[in-house]
Structure 1
Amino acid sequence: MSGFRRQLPPMTSLVVFEAAARQLSFTRAAVELGITQAAVSRQVQALEQNLGFQLFKRLHRAIELTERGQILSKSMSEALGTITRTVQSLTSETGSGELVISASVAFSHFWLLPKISDFRRLHPEIRLKVISQDTNVNLIREDADIAIRYGVGNWPDGRSTLLFSDDIFPVCSPAYLEAHGLPDCVADLVNHSLIASGSADPSWVGWSRWLNAFGHGAAPLNVTLSCSFYTDAIHAAMRGEGIALGWNRLVHDLLQQDRLVRVTAESLRTREAYYVVLRNGQPLKPQVEAFLRWIRKEREQPGLTGSQTASVLEE
């Protein structure tokens, strides 16, 4: 059997193609690779000539991958990601002692970071890196050991395990409650100052979806403050700006500290939940196994608040 060198196009052109395909831009790929845009274009053209088919559709001020380009891009990203992680684990001291965790800003801020000191006490030898962002880190392409995500548990870049479901209910500050009183019922919420937070994630629960679960979705909303991030909405609620939707697992500590109070007995449990996601086919590093043991124990801690809850499970 002949070697890889005779079976494959030049590796330089493949690496340049991977960057251009991931960025969907010759210009951004050039910046990433430290070469000129013209050099990227030449390498891609040479690769296309070598393969005998087009990898990109050249549009006006844009490029798109062809069907064959998409297949090659996925394969290259997976292969280079595997090589990168292997080299890091073999040559870097941090490869054996660092744990990289990805989570949303809200989950990191309200759940993970307040508890992480316990994990650090149990495992002082593990260096932690927390990536907090509301767009999912791609486990195939990016250097994260564990992702904690909210959704239905189906992501193409990893295998997921249910962490816990959650209940969503309105919350406000004690000061707001003292000044405005409790709503008489769910329908009366629309007469209060509501705080909304946006998200590009279709699984996100906003006021319309929450109220609709109780038959009041058509009522006009009195949203007096809208925030781009959920963390900002909760901080605004703590400062008395109005009523926000609270994810019980995220605001539990704030309720226990009386910085927030629950407004209604009604809560919504959706089909979405929190999941731990691990990269497909990747052997577990010791620090990953340690974190999984810790977080499984943490999820068993009491999380429900208040008395009897009327819970609605969405279809």
Structure 2
Amino acid sequence: MPPLNTIAAFEASARLVSFTRAAEELHLSQGAVSRQIQLLEARLGVALFERHHREIHLTKAGLFDEEIVPICSPDYLAAHPISSVEEIPEQALIELDADISICTTWQHWLGLAGVSRAPLQTALLLSNYDLVYRAVCSGKGLGLAWLYAIPPEARDSLVVRPVDVRVRTGLGEYLVTAEGEDLSAPAQTVLEWLLEYAKSSAWL
């Protein structure tokens, strides 16, 4: 079985989509979290994250379907009630300026959600998801979020879903194994843990 601290570092990094925020939660340095992830990847023989400038993404070995939803803070929703997805273009929208999915812009998301093209009220244009999440939590407007990326303890407290609409992009993150080969005991342990985490991470 991989060392428990490497699994804890992976869980926090996958949930928060950030080595920095995982380090803050675990009371470690960012470098320490990164090293724990590297140890786990070496133990499993597979890369678990794609590293980009100031942000990370789970690789295809990470196991999650991509569903994207709008989120905002409870205070923002109280001040700006939203009764349908058609009202979203009128809200203060926080845009992610990063090509990390086929659906990171509000215009694209709204189109997939069935909303006809309309002028958007872009409040902020930010360069990475961590900044978007922080802006949403502080009540700056609506942002788009991956369902698996919202920590369970933040749901309905720090952030809420103003409308019950989600967009499936058809993409996903998958665990892959070699056909005809048995998994090692450490890999089987991580596989079972990831599957359980994927089930518990759904925000219905």
Cα separation, 2, equivalents of 1:170 and 1:185 = 12
Aligned with residue 289 of structure 1, among 178, 184, 188:
188
What's 1:272 paired with?
171
Q: Are 2:92 and 1:163 equivalent residues in the alignment? A: no
Whether the 8 Å contact between 2:47 and 2:61 is mirrored in structure 1 is no
Count of aligned positions: 180
TM-score, normalisation: structure 1 = 0.46
What's 1:226 paired with?
125
What's 1:130 paired with?
37
The Cα offsets for residues 52-84 of structure 1, whole Å up to 9 and x where unpaired, read as xxxxxxxxxxxxxxxxxxxxxxxxxxxxxxxxx
Q: Are 2:80 and 1:180 equivalent residues in the alignment? A: yes
Percent identity, aligned pairs only, is: 22
Q: Are 2:46 and 1:146 equivalent residues in the alignment? A: yes
- Change in CA separation of 1:202 and 1:167 when aligned onto 2, cut-off 3 Å: closer
Q: Are 2:113 and 1:214 equivalent residues in the alignment? A: yes
TM-score, normalisation: structure 2 = 0.67
Instruction: Please report how far the alpha carbon of residue 299 of structure 1 lies from its aligned counterpart in structure 2 after TM superposition.
Output: 2.1
Whether the 8 Å contact between 1:106 and 1:231 is mirrored in structure 2 is no
Cα separation, 2, equivalents of 1:262 and 1:177 = 9
Whether the 8 Å contact between 2:148 and 2:198 is mirrored in structure 1 is no
Amino acid at match of 2:168: R
Amino acid at match of 1:210: W
Q: Are 2:90 and 1:191 equivalent residues in the alignment? A: yes
Whether the 8 Å contact between 2:91 and 2:142 is mirrored in structure 1 is yes
- Change in CA separation of 1:297 and 1:143 when aligned onto 2, cut-off 3 Å: closer
Superposed counterparts of 1:1-315, under 5 Å: 107=14, 109=16, 129-130=36-37, 145-148=45-48, 163-182=63-82, 184-216=83-115, 218-256=117-155, 258-276=157-175, 286-301=185-200, 303-305=202-204
SS of 2:36's equivalent?
strand
Note the residue ranges of structure 2 that are not aligned, 5 or more in a row.
27-34, 51-58
SS of 2:145's equivalent?
strand
